[in-house]
Amino acid sequence: MIMRNLIWMAVFSFWSLTNLSAQALKEKVLNAELSEDSGRASEIFQTPVAGEIQINSNTSRWGQKVSAIRTRDHGSPEVRAIKAAKAELKANSYNPQEEEQGRASDPILGANFEANWMEEGTPPDDAMAISNGGKVVTANNDGIEFYNANGQFLTTTKWADFFSDPTLTGSIYDPRVLYDSGADRFVMVVLHGSSATSSRLLVCFSKSNDPTTGWWYYKITGNPLNNNCWFDFPSLGVSNNEIYVTGNLYTTGDNNYNQSVIYQIRKTEGFAGQNLTWQYWDRIKAGSEIGFTLVPASYGHSGNYGPGIYLVSSESGGGNKVKLWDITNDIGANPELKSYTITTSLNYGPSPDAVQKGSNEGLDNGDCRMQSAFYLNGITHFVFHTDIGDGWNGIYYHRLKVNDLTIRSATFGLVGSFDYSYPSVASSSTQATDASVIIGFLRTSGAIFPEVRVVNCDNDMQWSSSTLVKAGETFVRVFGGTERWGDYTGICRRQNSPTGRIWFSGSYGARISSSVPNAYKTWIAEVFTNQSTSTNEMNTQIIESKVYPNPASDRFHVTFEMETKEVVTIQIVDMNGKVVKHLYEDLPKSTKNIISFNKEALSAGIYFLIIRTPSKILSNDKLVITD
């Protein structure tokens, strides 16, 4: 047993070293199709810390809601007209089918549990992150909650109580949270107010890797141009030295779109509670086209990259173009903002409102703005939703190489049966060269209540079937009429493990109380695939097993004895923790089992043969293959 632990410590150390070697890389983007003058950097500002947040561990889990939220809808009049024109086509094409049939391995659920409620408003705007130490931060428009990786509730607080700042008299909403594995800290931004005078970015930095020990927070204007605008629809990213908050400006009163902006913020000062150095970018455009809803792409595995960061955007009203943006350097080092326009393989566009079981009130699918992105091994991965046929919404996933601007794209969904919306994406691979991802999303139809699901897209861009994370319990009816649905889901890779464990949060239709019978709750789940399974993060229950002959040059045999009847999987894992061969998956006898295998294409070397169920490791034996 000691030897096994030493071997796995060596495996983890090797993985960490090989991964760290890629952290600082930032590929040079091809100069072709470059748009000059893509944005203007402001002067550099400094903002003092606004306060220190203390987390009250005695807070009861569910408190009274103390802050209202804005309910402004997605999209321009043009987008709404496109959606309305497709509504009849969609209604006439309803044709319930079986679930999707995929070729890749279906995602598997680990720990999963109920989290935030949405008590008096929509949309939920879910966000979540998990630290190397297994601390979970989960937030929505009501407030913030803290859990450990086993789903044990730690504490909660509503936003007004979290900040406890009498100057914050407006709505507090749209939380975005991430875990910076390079700094081993959490970062969060929450918005305040919906007018030029009240709009603020509340930028928060955890004091330690335990988010319940307190935070520093800063108040940055949401009207940086002083042009009667307010800031909305934030996204959050991190590089080696900075964080980036992106969003859109809307004019006060009529809420017309003005432009997108990027806040570039030095992070070390925020983690220390010192004066915060930052600048913003405005006049963001690619050629003659104005940028819209840019999403920063943080690093997909442990650590960060930089200097600067990549960002991506799509067209809210549809088209066949996406854009890559590149902030080339850190604050004070003469950064530039460059833009590149790339043609997608398929046209995309918004779809009509989704339907839900038990109600004639639709769910707002929004438009086609960018939802989620990360960067890994020279590729930006990003996802948003689109009409995939006859007005039905599905997932549109892309892999864009930054060195030559080539792109691979794929859609996922089931036309006529379900609407798939508000996707988010994270790397599920054990090595940076493996492009496999897990995508979480929301789903509904006339046959089901709003639910939460995940899907695997492997290195070869093959889809799995989707896996149910949490079924809806009721339809949603908060205000009547078309209900807000997303606007986001939350996703985070647990970075200190080479097993590709993803954590995902999404909202589902649920009954909160007799006075709030048709609202939203949040469900959080740990998700992985057979390819990304290792022993580091699974419960272990050792059984009697033997592998012989060992070393093996041709055939070898595995014997094991089961005490209970459970589906068992047998896999071979290499020294990097990657599953290289899937040998067996079945329900064995609850007595002694003997199974024989051929080494086939396995090259000479040291491996581990793992016997497991979906919830625990039963055996982990060293296997030596010789020529």
Give the pLDDT of residue 97.
Answer: 81
Q: Does 211 lie in the same domain as 88? A: yes
Q: Does 195 lie in the same domain as 277? A: yes
Q: Does 597 lie in the same domain as 452? A: no
What dihedral angle (degrees, nearest 10) is formed by the CA atoms of 573, 578, 581, 586? Answer: 80
- Identify the CATH number of the domain in which residue 267 sits: 2.120.10.10
Position 16 in a domain: no
Q: Does 505 lie in the same domain as 551? A: no
Q: Does 606 lie in the same domain as 519? A: no
Q: Does 234 lie in the same domain as 321? A: yes
Give the pLDDT of residue 58.
Answer: 46
**β-pairing verdict for 592-598 and 555-561:** antiparallel
Q: Which of 135, 144, 125 is nearest to 63 (CA)?
A: 144
Q: Does 609 lie in the same domain as 513? A: no
List all residues 6 or more positions away from 451 whose beta carbon is below 8 Å from its beta carbon: 442, 443, 444, 468, 469, 470, 471, 472, 508, 509
Instruction: For residue 29, give both structure tokens.
Output: 């983007």
d(CA 501, CA 244): 25
Total Cβ atoms within 10 A of residue 2: 6
**Could you tell me where the beta strands, DSSP code E, fall in 256-294?**
257-266, 276-282, 285-286, 289-290
User: Under a CB-based contact definition with an 8 Å cutoff, are residues 440 and 491 in contact?
Assistant: yes
User: Under a CB-based contact definition with an 8 Å cutoff, are residues 457 and 436 in contact?
Assistant: yes
Position 100 in a domain: yes
d(CA 226, CA 263): 15
Give me the number of domains the chain comprises: 2
| Residue 194 DSSP class | S
Sheet of strand 108-118: strand arrangement: 108-118, 519-528, 502-510, 490-493
Q: What is the secondary structure of 562-610 as a DSSP string?
A: -SS---EEEEEE-TTS-EEEEEEEE---SSEEEEEEE-TTPPSEEEEEE
Of the three residues 482, 501, 532, the one that is the final residue of a domain is 532
Q: Which tens digit of pLDDT belongs to each residue from 566-605?
A: 788 888 877 656 678 888 878 887 778 888 888 777 888 8
Q: Does 613 lie in the same domain as 493? A: no
Please give the residue range of the domain that contains residue 594.
539-625
The most distant pair of C-alpha atoms in the chain lies apart, rounded to whole Å, by 77
Position 271 in a domain: yes
d(CA 625, CA 541): 26
Position 386 in a domain: yes
Q: Which tens digit of pLDDT belongs to each residue from 407-432?
A: 999 999 999 999 999 999 999 998 89
pTM: 0.81
Report in angstroms the alpha-carbon separations of 423 from 1, 438, 460.
Answer: 42, 10, 20
d(CA 549, CA 250): 70
Q: Does 248 lie in the same domain as 373? A: yes
Helices (runs of H) and strands (runs of E) counted in the chain: 4, 44
Total Cβ atoms within 10 A of residue 153: 14
SS3 label, residue 530: helix
User: Under a CB-based contact definition with an 8 Å cutoff, are residues 575 and 605 in contact?
Assistant: yes
Q: Does 405 lie in the same domain as 268? A: yes
Report in angstroms the alpha-carbon separations of 81 from 44, 86, 332, 385, 590.
Answer: 41, 9, 45, 18, 61
Position 621 in a domain: yes
Report in angstroms the alpha-carbon separations of 565 from 106, 557, 562, 611.
Answer: 22, 21, 7, 14
- Identify the CATH number of the domain in which residue 617 sits: 2.60.40.1930
Q: Does 415 lie in the same domain as 305? A: yes
Q: Does 552 lie in the same domain as 502? A: no
Radius of gyration of the CA atoms of the chain, in A? 24
Of the three residues 472, 504, 532, the one that is the final residue of a domain is 532
Give the pLDDT of residue 5.
Answer: 38
DSSP H or E run through 238: strand 229-238
Position 258 in a domain: yes
Position 413 in a domain: yes
Give the pLDDT of residue 541.
Answer: 53
List all residues 6 or more positions away from 134 whose beta carbon is below 8 Å from its beta carbon: 148, 149, 150, 494
Q: Which of 79, 386, 425 is nearest to 257 (CA)?
A: 79
Q: 229, exposed or middle or buried, with CB in 10 Å at 0-12, 13-18, 19+?
A: buried
Q: Which of 193, 153, 151, 152 is nearest to 171 (CA)?
A: 193
Instruction: For residue 52, give both structure tokens.
Output: 């220190």
d(CA 127, CA 107): 21
Q: Each residue of 52-81: b (16+ CB within 10 Å) or e? A: ebebeeebeebeebebebbeeebbeeebee
pLDDT along the chain (627 residues), means of 10: 36 34 58 66 98 73 39 70 90 87 89 89 93 95 93 91 94 96 96 97 97 97 98 97 98 95 98 98 93 97 95 96 96 96 95 95 95 97 97 97 95 96 96 95 97 97 95 93 93 82 96 90 92 47 76 87 80 72 80 82 81 74 82
Name the residue type at position 190: V
d(CA 529, CA 460): 15
Position 489 in a domain: yes
Of the three residues 490, 511, 532, the one that is the final residue of a domain is 532
